[in-house]
Structures are given as structure tokens and as C-alpha cells.
Amino acid sequence: MSGAAVWLPVLLPIAASVLIALAGRWPNLRETVTLITATALLFLVLQVADPVQAGQRPDFVLVEMMPGLSIRFTAEPLGVLFALVASFLWIITSVYSIGYMRGHNEQNQTRFYVCFAIAIGSAMGVALAGNMLTLFVFYEVLTFSTYPLVTHAGTDEAKRGGRTYLGVLVFTSICFQLPAIIWTWQLAGTLDFTAGGILKGKAEPELLGILFVLYMFGIGKAALMPFHRWLPAAMVAPTPVSALLHAVAVVKAGVFTVVKVIVYIFGIDLLAGVVNAEWLLYVAGATIIIASIVALNQDNLKRRLAYSTVSQLSYVILGAAVLAPLSVIGATLHIAAHAFGKITLFFCAGAILVAAHKTQVSQLNGIGRRMPWTMGAFAVGAISMIGVPPTAGFISKWYMLIGAFETQQFIAVLVIVVSTLLNAAYFLPIVYAAFFRKPDDEPEAGDGPGSTSPVSQAHAPHGEAPLPVVVALVATAVGTVLLFFFPNAVLALARQLVVLGG
């Protein structure tokens, strides 16, 4: 394939955002353009993925500012996996958004679809970046393009959440990540992603250790504590935005960048043998446990899912920090497993809001009887987050556990076991209450459907959310199970990554 084709997945959604804006007066046309673009994007990514799976590395330099410093796009296994997940889930999220935005009578829908398209294009730029400069540019575009989505509601609460979102992400990028990139350029004379890393022998271990700290805390989208507050603050956004933030683009861009830096900037061998990177394992482990405990105490469903995301993201960092080939494979797999499982959970939360107007965990007693498809999908997503077969979350956690045992990192083993129990503690009671408890709003005798009493009118029975919403959440739940039974394509990309990172 032509090298220039590597950057077409970046260009297409950004160009389509103009067409979406022009079609804003005609909602059906606007959403048709969105769906066609999303489908075309997946086709383009699949065209890029084929040669990568065959061992090729398509490469394209868009512009070169000076020798060795350019805006460059390169297709490699980790980037292709991220691009495949994001492009496929954009199709599903677009279907979901049509049902949600119309069913909830959201304002500024054209702006929503325009910003969403730009965000997906930015995510493609992050995924297919050939060096740290290109990645950083699209990483920042992703931040600013999602800000209007976070503040979509326009309320004071939304504006406060948006300020926190923008403040934390810009602060970490400018104060930590950008200096790390400049320092890397000074040391290595290049920012290109290179198999085995570019920093071996370039500085003393102590200096490389400081550089590693700057990178890990500079990648704020990975939500490593204490730079995680942006994520729960962004829960004021509409549910499709939460799905974008937590499953499709933003947080995945964060943990993707962490793995990319470990594998292609430092190299697994350098971190394991020269640089003292063990601290990252402890910080990631603490983030997993603390966020899980906080999630356990959240009654608001989206906030519980938000803190669950903080925890689950650090599984990827933990797996990468163990620095064993199998654990890195597990971390890579978890990017895909978490994407499908968590987007299902957020889709379900949005469906509950649209159909039942409920936002609290304590309000969900018996809701599974009225929304069986939604809560059945929720159960699948929850089981995947816990790590129980037959869901994708089991496979990724299994690889991380085996890698931790292989390197005798028993702290990592303990963290995974304890956090799995905590995952079960904050997810399973929701599933149990939904299907096995009596609804709190069940009408009393004499207050049936034909009654005109205030009680009956206030608690009128509801059913499932609009059909596009239900179709989308069932599709991602099915995807979560299919990844368990058919993981070979993802495993092949993850294994290629480990070979390159040695």
C-alpha cells in the first residue's frame, strides 16, 4: 500500500466535520454523513492493518520542519489496535448517539457531532503517529476538541467540570510531557518511535529515571493519581461523550501513549535493566485500589463508572510496568477489553437515564424487569470489568497475572486479586438489585395503569430506551463476549508489539 494512505484515517473524520456542520439544518442528513464517515474510517483502518499484520510498517512524512523532526505517520501493531477499536466503536457510538440525543432532546446536536468527528480524527492521529512530536500535537487537539463536549449542557456544573478537565490535562501536558519530549530530542537527536527504544546509552540511569517520571505524570489522560480528577469531573457530559472519554478516544489515548513511551522511547530492556521504573508499578497499583474503593462508595451511577475507569486504566499501566512480555501483552489486550466493556456500561447508564430518568445506583431496584436488554448488557460489561469468563476482561487479566508471576512481581498479583474482589463488590450488587429486587416505584394496589392518581402518574411504567440505543449497547456487549472466543487478531498484534519492544 502507499505510505500516504497511513494518514487518510486522520484526515477523513476531520474533513467530514465540515460536511457535518454544513448539514446541521437537516438532522437526518447530518447523521447520515456521520454514519457513512464512521464506516469509511473503519474501512481505511482495515486497509492499513493488513500490511501491519503481515509485518510491514507503512510510513509517511507529511511535513519535515528540520532534519529528523517531522509530522510523521507510521502504522505499527499498537497503533493499529487502537485505531481499529476507536474506528469500530465510533460506528456503534454514532448509532447510540442518534437515539440518545433525540430521545433526550439535547440542544446543540450539530456541534456535538462536529466535535465528535474532530476528536475521532485526533485519536487516529495519536494512534498512527510516527514520533512523539506528532503524537503530542494530536494529543492536544484531542483535549481541546473534547472540551465543548464536556461542557455541552452549558450549566454552571458543566462549566466547572470543563475547567477541571481542561486545567488538569493542559497542566500535565505543558509542565511535564512537553519538557520530557524536548529533553528526549536533546538526548537522542530524534523523536521517532523505534523498536527497542531510542534512549539506551544516551544518559545516566538517574537522569533517564527523572525523564521517565516526567513522561508518566505528563500523560494526564492516563488518569494516574494524583492527576485523575479531570475524569470524574467530566461526568457532567452527555452519556455518548462519557463513552467517548472512557472507552473510545481520550483515556485510551492516555494509556496508549504510556505503553508507546515504554516500548518505543525507552524500551522494555532499558527500563528493566537500567532505569529504576519499579515505582510506576506501585503508583499504578495504588491508583487501582484507591479508585476501586472510591467507586464502591459512589451512589451516582456515572461517577461509579468514572472511578472504575480510573482503576481499570491503571491495569494497563500496571501490566506495562511489570515489564514482562506476557504482562505487556495483557496490557495491550486490556485496551481493547476495557473499551468494549466500559462503553457498554456507559451506554446502559445513558439508556437508564433516557427511559427511566434514573441516575443513582440506589434507584435501580427491579429495573431489569422493565429493561432486560439494557441490564443484561450491563451484566456482561460488569463481568468483563471484574475479569470473569466468557468475557474479554478475563483474557487480559490472565496475561497480566501470568506475567507478574513470571517476574515474581507479587505486589502486582496482590493488586489484581484485591481489585478484582472490589470490582465485584461495586458491580454485582447493581446486577442483583436490577433483576432480583422489587422495584421501589412499583404502583400500589389500585394504582394500576388506568389509574389517574398522582402516585400512578409519577411512577408510570417505562420500557427500554429508543431502539438505536438498545441496538448499540447489545452490539458492544456481544463484542465483549466475541473478544473472549476470538482473540487471535488482537493477540497477534500484541505479540508483534512485544517483539518490537524488547
What HEC string does 214-243 produce? HHHHHCHHHCCCCCCCHHHHHHHCCHHHHH
Q: What is the pTM of this model?
A: 0.91
Q: Would you tell me how many other CB atoms lie within 10 Å of the CB of residue 232?
A: 24
Question: Tell me, what's the pLDDT at 10?
Answer: 95
Give strand pairing partners of 69: 66
CA dihedral 201, 207, 210, 216 (to 10 degrees): -10
Q: In the block, which residue shows the cell 457510538?
A: 93
Under the banding of pLDDT at 50, 70 and 90, the label for residue 458 is very low
What letter does residue 448 receive in the DSSP assignment?
S
pLDDT tens profile 260-316: 999 999 998 888 877 777 899 999 999 999 999 999 999 999 899 999 999 999 999
Q: Please say if the pLDDT value at position 55 is more than 60.
A: yes
Give me 447's grid cell: 394504582
Under the banding of pLDDT at 50, 70 and 90, the label for residue 67 is confident
First to last CA, the chain: 27
Q: Mean pLDDT across the stretch 117-129?
A: 95
User: How far is Cα 344 from Cα 154, in angstroms, rounded to an integer?
Assistant: 26
Give me 1's grid cell: 500500500
- DSSP three-state, residue 71: strand
- C-alpha separations of 136 from 115, 127, 204, 261 in Å: 19, 11, 25, 12
Helix-helix angle 372-386:392-406, to 10 degrees: 10
- Prior bond of 232 cis (ω within 30°): no
pLDDT tens profile 311-320: 999 999 999 9
Do the Cβ atoms of 393 and 341 come closer than 8 Å? yes
**Dihedral sign, Cα of residue 277, residue 279, residue 282, residue 287:** negative
Give strand pairing partners of 60: 73
DSSP per-residue string spanning 266-284: I-HHHHHHTS--HHHHHHH
Q: Which long-range contacts (CB under 8 A, 24 or more apart) does 40-43 make?
A: 40/12, 41/9, 41/12, 41/13, 41/87, 41/90, 41/120, 41/124, 42/84, 42/87, 42/88, 42/90, 42/91
The amino acid that residue 24 corresponds to is G
- DSSP three-state, residue 445: coil
Question: Tell me, what's the pLDDT at 448?
Answer: 46
- Report the share of the chain in percent with pLDDT over 90: 70
pLDDT tens profile 372-403: 999 999 999 999 999 999 999 999 999 999 99
Lowest pLDDT segment from 56-70, 93-107, 388-402, 473-487: 93-107
Give me 274's grid cell: 537500567
